[in-house]
Amino acid sequence: MRREGKTGKAIIVGGSIAGVSCAHALSGVGWEVVVLEKSFGHTTGSPTGAGLGLDPLSCDIITSWLGGSAPLQSRTLPLSVDQNQATDTEKKTHRILTRDEEFNFRAAHWADLHELLLNSLPPNILMWGHHFLSFSIADDKASVTVKAKVLETGEIVEIVGDLLIAADGCLSSIRRTFLPNHTLRYAGYCAWRGVLDYSENVDLETTIKGIRRVYPDMGKCLYFDLGPRTHCVLYELLNKRINWIWYINQPEPQTKGNSVTMKVSKEMINKMQEDANQFWVPELVKLMKATKEPFLNVIYDSDPIEKIFFDNVVLVGDAVHPTTPHCLRSTNMSLLDAQVLGKCLEKWGRGDLQSALSEYQSIRLPMVSKQVLHARKVGRIKQGLDVPDREIFDPNKASSEECCEIQQKNVPFFSYIPELLRS
């Protein structure tokens, strides 16, 4: 069945940041878009998203979608310093390994960024409570039909478009249709994560004063604390919140359903807090203990794939490049995916979809493949795991040369802007 009309129509499966970013990028170049999302509305407390860092290019992209920088700046804090430091587990002191004072990122809470992007879209674009079921491509490749279940009523609906965009995450069912043998790879460690909100709790004043004393650049610095075979991340978010992540080497745990977040018990939390005393300075341990409802992510990535579009189906975000989080790439890659895809569709038009998708693939695939593999390597270095052609990393003995690879500025394509976006 051929879809009538001159305007291209894209069906986006997944209403997370990758999905709503594609909605911005495509609607901005004249495409009709619809986003299918199985949840019933935006949540401010997403269990899988806490803090994130936006690079300068991502900030520029978001600014172009929102028509100015003020909305983004009002929801984020500047991160002008990237610092790696070794923690002496016995003396509970720090030694700076690397420090970059020209970092120029911005820190955001996942839910804040998602809400900002979502609320700036026309209200009729996102179809809440629609669970994606299946899709079919027309024999002449001119259209794609998506079936979804309306969860509130049980009704099955069909939506026809020119392009299907898979923004359905690292466990993408759409990717599995084309690449059934492509699986996630367990990194060898999990991450305890939490956000301490001290905005209305005067009892936390001593805790925050202690953190600011030990981490004097809190509020502008992305801190990486490296201990023996482990590391921790710490930075401040807007509205008096502090984001922390602690990576722990362990056998792969069992998760339930399509989730990379584990359900944790009070006993697990208590043990984590007690174990923290062995590694981290007392001020950081106190912050962890004061955090309500910390959660545990199982860390995965996947080997790079060789193709990211199939006829008129294209993959974006974590559906293409599940990655470990050490280089702050996941959200930044998703934002750039969306913008490059939109510009390619604008350049080639609805009449030459294959050329548009081919160019999207040629621009994005080499970049994301190298960034995923680099983030994997950085994670293994910081966790004291085996890395080919180098000794196990010991932060308390590491030379400046050995520390070079773990700096954010040495991520492949760190400051690169695709030619398509330079005009």
**Domains of the chain as residue ranges with CATH:** 9-70+112-183+303-391+412-421 (3.50.50.60), 81-105+186-301 (3.30.9.60)
Whole-number pLDDT of residue 219 = 96
Q: Is the pLDDT of residue 170 over 90?
A: yes
Concatenated DSSP letters of 122-147:
-TTSEEETEEEEEEEE-TTSS-EEEE
pLDDT band at 259 (very low <50, low <70, confident <90, very high): low
Please tell me whether residue 391 adopts helix, strand or coil conformation: coil
Strand arrangement of the beta sheet that strand 221-227 belongs to: 93-100, 81-88, 221-227, 230-237, 241-249, 185-197, 295-301, 261-262
Q: Is the pLDDT of residue 48 over 90?
A: no
Q: List the structure tokens of 34.
A: 């619809």
Q: Is the pLDDT of residue 318 over 60?
A: yes
Q: Is the pLDDT of residue 3 over 90?
A: no
Report which of residues 271 and 259 the model is more confident about: 271
| pLDDT (average), residues 199-218 | 93
Q: List the structure tokens of 11.
A: 């069906």
Residues 336-393 pLDDT 10s:
999 999 999 999 998 999 999 999 999 999 999 999 999 999 999 999 999 998 889 9
Radius of gyration for the chain, computed over Cα atoms and rounded to the nearest angstrom: 22
Strand arrangement of the beta sheet that strand 126-128 belongs to: 126-128, 32-37, 9-13, 163-166, 313-315, 309-310
Q: Is the pLDDT of residue 49 over 70?
A: no
Q: Is the pLDDT of residue 146 over 80?
A: yes
Q: Is the pLDDT of residue 159 over 70?
A: yes
**% of the chain at pLDDT higher than 90:** 86
